[in-house]
Amino acid sequence: MEKFKNYINGQWVEPISRKYFNNINPADINDIVGEFPESGQEDVNNAVAAAKEAYKKWKMMPAPKRGDIIKRVGDIFLRRKDEIAKIMTREMGKPVFETKGDIQEAIDTAYYAATETRRLFGYTAPSELENKMNLSFRYPIGICGVITAFNFPIAVPSWKILPAIASGNTVVYKPSKDVPHAGVVFAEVMEEAGIPPGVFNVVLGKGNMGNMIVEHPDVNLIAFTGSTNIGFKIGEVCGRTNKKCSLEMGGKNAQIIMPDANFELALEGVLWGAFGTTGQRCTATSRLIVHKDCYEKIIEMLAEKASKLKLGNGLLPDTQVGPVIHQAQFNTCEEYVKIGLEEGARLIIGGKKATGSGLDNGYFFEPTIFADVTKDMRLFQEEIFGPVLSVSKAESFDHAIELANGVDFGLSSSIYTRNVNDAFRAIRDIEAGITYINAPTIGAEAHMPFGGVKGTGNGHREGGWTVFDIFTEWKTVYVDFSDKLQRAQIDNY
């Protein structure tokens, strides 16, 4: 069995504890991917120290030169796409066609971030005083702690890591304990691209390791993707220690179907949104809100299509839906099925472990659909992070919007309609960071802002030009060439 190491200060090093944990393929629990470090505080300290030392030189490198390295990162991901996709599928379960898309997002992000190193624009503005110029510049922040979830093992880290280093910061990265191999691969790619020692460090581990990074006094910023509960805890620590933090947390995303929609298109959208990545996306379509005039018809059509989805090992070419990530998540899905039945929701299909050829040794859960789910039910309100879809009836367009907004999250949203007025009203009225018209709730593009409102995040947006607002600080500069004292913020009138 292969034994992997941390990547600290440009070197592959064993954990100080010399302890390791097994990483298991969720599609086949008898398949052990490898042994990965159980790192601790001393490993984190070493990584942070390396990042702190490297920051002195890295921030001074001209930004376009940093962009040259990031461009090479994209080139290497492109060259290794098929290989890395299979590594990711074996590690976390989703089909290869999805993991290839995961890597393509990293490629797109690398190329975008590389070009933005020539566009880290500041602003100039006229002064209120004579013979004076007002300027502003973007500056890096320092050492960034990056902590991410398992479901997008390469894409989501790239959204944070590549803009962070493009901006002149250094990074200590802790991937999810469920996808440590992807973290190793990310370090391999960065190393081959020529990243200087200490600029990018990967520390692998379980348990309290993420908190060791968050609490470290020399870490200046935390960029986090994961559960809402952990995100809130990170926010508390960062508030207490005055660290900047970007939190991308949970979702309970709704797709609305109106009577004038293209039903076939809408059903393709909800199947992909609800069961793509086995429902393990923060942008997953967890709720389907259907107008009363087409409610039963949509449920009937949806059940027929969902029952035909092919479950299996993601490495097989005909697999459409893989396993959930581990036993605990499988148990969560079972628990929510029980909750739904107790609450009085109508189980349409699924609700139990999937069985059959190639499924018995993995964490496969049947695509599950509940109907008649009301706003007061836990199925409606709580993120499940699995292949469980709740269907609710809307009495009108306004009621559909009310239902869509009736949760504590606000990441993604969708409406299927041919009515242009309803489409624009939905854009205006849905409380979410993302709204799709006639498309599912999933499918972010690298050059556009990504993030949500309410319990989904703390106001930052990854992706696009807005991500650089996370990883840079502003410096305002005043140049007075009047040869006399001029007093601003005095009543000069």
C-alpha distances out from residue 134 to 125, 126, 128, Å: 5, 6, 9
Place of tokens 């959204």: 159
**Whole-number pLDDT of residue 488:** 84
Task: Of 165, 145, 155, 148, give the one whose Cα is nearest residue 71.
Answer: 165
Name every residue whose Cβ is closer than 8 Å to that of residue 14 and which is 6 or more positions away in sequence.
5, 6, 37
Determine how many CB atoms are found less than 10 A away from the CB of residue 367: 26
**pLDDT interval class at 277 (50, 70, 90):** very high
**Whole-number pLDDT of residue 491:** 75
DSSP H or E segment with residue 134: strand 132-140
Contact (CB, 8 A) for 438 and 417: yes
pLDDT in tens, 251-270: 999 999 999 999 999 999 99
Mean pLDDT of the region 330-341: 98
C-alpha distances out from residue 18 to 3, 37, 40, 73, 184, Å: 11, 7, 10, 30, 17
**Whole-number pLDDT of residue 1:** 86
3-class SS of residue 435: coil
The domain ranges of the chain are 6-249+457-476, 253-437
Mean pLDDT of the region 196-225: 97
What are the residue numbers of the active site?
248, 282
- How far is CA 140 from its chain centroid? 22
Cα 363 to Cα 312: distance, rounded to the nearest angstrom: 10
CATH of domain 253-437: 3.40.309.10
C-alpha distances out from residue 361 to 37, 276, 317, Å: 25, 21, 19
pLDDT in tens, 212-232: 999 999 999 999 999 999 999
pLDDT at 400 over 80: yes
3-class SS of residue 273: helix
Percent of the chain scoring above 90 in pLDDT: 98
Edge-to-edge, what's the strand order for the sheet holding 285-291? 346-349, 368-371, 388-394, 285-291, 253-257, 413-416, 436-437
**Whole-number pLDDT of residue 38:** 97
Instruction: Record the tokens describing residue 1, joined without a space.
Output: 């069995």
Same fold, 6-249+457-476 and 253-437: no
pLDDT in tens, 64-83: 999 999 999 999 999 999 99
3-class SS of residue 416: strand
**Whole-number pLDDT of residue 465:** 96
- How far is CA 452 from its chain centroid? 11
C-alpha distances out from residue 483 to 132, 377, 480, 489, 491, Å: 10, 70, 8, 19, 20
pLDDT in tens, 352-375: 999 999 999 999 999 999 999 999
**pLDDT interval class at 28 (50, 70, 90):** very high
Cα 214 to Cα 162: distance, rounded to the nearest angstrom: 20
pLDDT in tens, 291-335: 999 999 999 999 999 999 999 999 999 999 999 999 999 999 999
pLDDT at 207 over 90: no
pLDDT at 199 over 80: yes
Edge-to-edge, what's the strand order for the sheet holding 132-140? 124-126, 132-140, 472-480
3-class SS of residue 32: strand
Mean pLDDT of the region 447-471: 96
pLDDT at 409 over 80: yes
Domain 6-249+457-476, second-level architecture: 3-Layer(aba) Sandwich (3.40)
Burial class (CB in 10 A: 0-12, 13-18, 19+), 358: middle
DSSP H or E segment with residue 83: helix 81-92
